[in-house]
Amino acid sequence: MSANPEIRSPRSLAGALAVRASIAAFVVLSTLLGAPLAAAPTSGEPIHITHREFKSAVLRSDLPVVVDFWATWCGPCRKMAPALATLAADNVGRLVVAKVNVDENLAFTHRYGVKGLPTLLVFKNGREIGRLQGNRKPEVLEQELAALLGPTMLAAALPADSIAP
């Protein structure tokens, strides 16, 4: 081997290229074979995310995702929380409910054009397919989500007492 550390032996260069090719092939095959890009939560509870997790948890999810933009000081957000928790629990494996605290993710909230709370953004295959703003009764929320996602995507109806009118 040469005394100059910048010059590699053909054997070590070939090994490095083989490793890189193997990694690239794995990534391409995983994508082509339909391997999920992001693991779906299995707890049955809404997941709390920030702008850092948004891409992997929402845009790369293999399931539809309902993103709740909320704040601790928002009364209507607190009223909708039980309905969203029920939605997450009843639809494990069919739907993901994610929550974004607007006070902790202000610039990100503006980027998605959230102007009022609560705001629900509905994503499917990495694209926003719907937006719901304001408090809703559970049955209205279910009807609107079923209209966006298809009626077979959601489990049984949300309980009527999930949200106070």
Structure tokens at 33: 């074979």
Whether the bond between 82 and the residue before it is cis, its omega within 30 degrees of 0, is: no
Q: What is the pLDDT of residue 37?
A: 41
Average pLDDT of 78-92? 95
Model pLDDT for residues 95-151, shown as the tens digit of each residue: 999 999 999 999 989 999 999 999 999 999 999 999 999 999 999 999 999 999 987
Q: Which residues are catalytic?
A: 74, 77
- Sorted by where each begins, the domain ranges of the chain are 1-35, 47-162
- 140 secondary structure, DSSP code: H
Structure tokens at 84: 């969203």
> pTM surpassing 0.75?
no
The yes-or-no verdict on residue 78 having pLDDT over 50 is yes
Q: Which CATH architecture has domain 47-162?
A: 3-Layer(aba) Sandwich (3.40)
Model pLDDT for residues 12-59, shown as the tens digit of each residue: 555 545 545 444 444 444 444 444 444 455 678 999 999 999 999 999
Q: What is the pLDDT of residue 97?
A: 97
The yes-or-no verdict on residue 6 having pLDDT over 70 is no
Q: Tokens 């054009």 belong to which residue?
A: 113
